[in-house]
Amino acid sequence: MDINNLQRENIKNLKPYSTARDEYKGQASVFLDANENGYGSPLDVNFNRYPDPLQLDLKDAISKIKGVPIENTFLGNGSDEAIDLLFRAFCEPGKDNVIILPPTYGMYEVSAGINNVEARKVNLLPNFQLDLEKIAEAIDENTKLIFICSPNNPTGNSIIRTDIETVLANFNGLVIIDEAYINYAKQRTFIQELTEYPNLVILQTFSKAWGLAALRLGMAFAARPVIDILNKVKPPYNINQATQDLALKALENIAQVNEWIKITVTERENLSEELLNLPIVKKVHASDANFILIEVIDALKTYEALVNQGIIVRDRSKVTLCEGCLRITIGTPQENEIFLAALKALNS
Ligand SMILES: Cc1ncc(COP(=O)(O)O)c(C=O)c1O
């Protein structure tokens, strides 16, 4: 597949913005090229200079953990930015389409709407796996992207690996595997498959296991031509200096993150078991993520009763295939205990 032919014609012809720092070679100590304030910042740290547009130090540190070369890594203002840029780079508004697989993460459809791109919906099967036949039927010559979320939000399950491989091998556009929750999964990441599939894009994020949702930092891993196109269309300084500095610091503390992942997985299994014993809980869906989807007798009533006690879960009862369901984030052991006690009280 020729990625260059997949991109929009206007993007192919686009001359990207050239930053002040792109335009000189060699050492320099006097920077009078970017209209910055040379005095410094009214803070303890200096933020007066524009940040590295390609975030090379941060990517180098990420590369050491993920094993993905820098040239195969894109960083965005959250994975939501990468999702939006994929639409802007590859989908011609009013002409091209993408395939999404409900119930799934809502931003794929919102981004499609913002970019005036048709989002073709192929529902997951009742077991929340891919309907390969219907996906094949939905693809036409204008289908540019297929979004597969694994582990899937809001269902929590991982998508069967061989099914994803079938889509990757047979689709002539980009397959985006959103691995936002991969750190909590038994299934391994698709990162090792990057060299095999030129049409594979993997999304990961610092917002979940890394505990940095407020920083807004997402990763996209893909073949070099895809990354080059994303870099061409992104805003020049999309990752601010504070985010780059703090993420670099966080990456030194992977032991803490791994500890939280371990506790969260244990808590997920314990909470799932406890919930099964409650009469108002009809079903607890198996989860590979840091949340669980449960079906209860009366979702809205349960949701409101919890809100009244200051406990907020996500009501997913109006979502395709999730009728009667609430999505519960796995909290700290103390938070989970409070939630469980409140739910038990509703039962009695
Ligand atoms: C599947 C999935 N992808 C992406 C995101 C957003 O990630 P970010 O915070 O990096 O934009 C979420 C957030 O809930 C998500 O559930």
Domain ranges of the chain: 10-253, 255-347
| Among candidate residues 49, 81, 39, 74, the one with its CA nearest the CA of residue 59 | 74
From the alpha carbon of 104, which atom of ligand 1 is closest?
A: 1
Residue 318 CA, ligand 1 centroid: distance in Å? 20
pLDDT confidence of residue 343: 95
- To the nearest whole percent, how much of the chain has pLDDT over 90? 95
The label of the residue with tokens 């984030």 reads: 329
Residue with tokens 């869906």: 285
pLDDT in tens, 272-288: 999 999 999 999 999 99
Distance 218 CA to ligand 1 centre (A): 8
**Residue from 239, 199, 236 nearest 218 by CA:** 239
How many A from CA of 11 to the centre of ligand 1?
A: 26
Domain 10-253 matching CATH 3.40.640.10: the answer reads yes
Q: What is the pLDDT at residue 1?
A: 80
Candidate of 110, 111, 178, 207 to mutate for ligand 1, largest count of ligand atoms within 8 Å of Cβ: 207
3-state secondary structure (DSSP) of residue 219: strand
Using CA positions, which residue lies closest to atom 14 of ligand 1?
105
293-329: pLDDT as tens digits: 999 999 999 999 999 999 999 999 999 999 999 999 9
Mean pLDDT of 206-231: 98
How many other β-carbons are positioned within 10 Å of the β-carbon of residue 348? Answer: 5
Ligand 1 pocket by C-beta < 6 Å: which residues?
A: 78-80, 105, 149, 153, 178, 180, 205, 207, 213, 218
Question: Counting atoms of ligand 1 from 1, which one is nearest the CA of 152?
Answer: 1
Task: List phi, psi (to 5°) of 316.
Answer: -110, 20
Whether the CB-CB separation of 178 and 150 falls below 8 Å is answered with yes
Work out the mean pLDDT of the chain and round it to a whole number. 97
**What is the pLDDT, as a whole number, of residue 165?**
98
Task: Please identify, by atom number, the ligand 1 atom nearest to the C-alpha of residue 206.
Answer: 10
At 63-74, the pLDDT tens digits run 999 999 999 999
pTM of the model: 0.97
What pLDDT shows up at residue 234?
A: 97
Candidates 77, 124, 153: which one to mutate for ligand 1, based on the most atoms within 8 Å of Cβ?
Answer: 153
Q: Compute the radius of gyration of the chain from its Cα atoms.
A: 22
Q: What is the pLDDT of residues 128-161, one digit of tens each?
A: 999 999 999 999 999 999 999 999 999 999 999 9
Whole-number Å distance, alpha carbon 134 to ligand 1 midpoint, is: 26
Question: Which of 172, 176, 249, 175 shows the shortest CA–CA distance to 206?
Answer: 249
- Residues near 307 by beta carbon (within 8 Å), at least 6 away in sequence: none
The rounded distance, in Å, linking the Cα atoms of 235 and 84 is: 12
From atom 2 of ligand 1, which residue's Cα is the shortest distance away?
A: 180
- 107 CA distance to ligand 1 middle (Å): 8
Please state which CATH number belongs to domain 255-347.
Answer: 3.90.1150.10
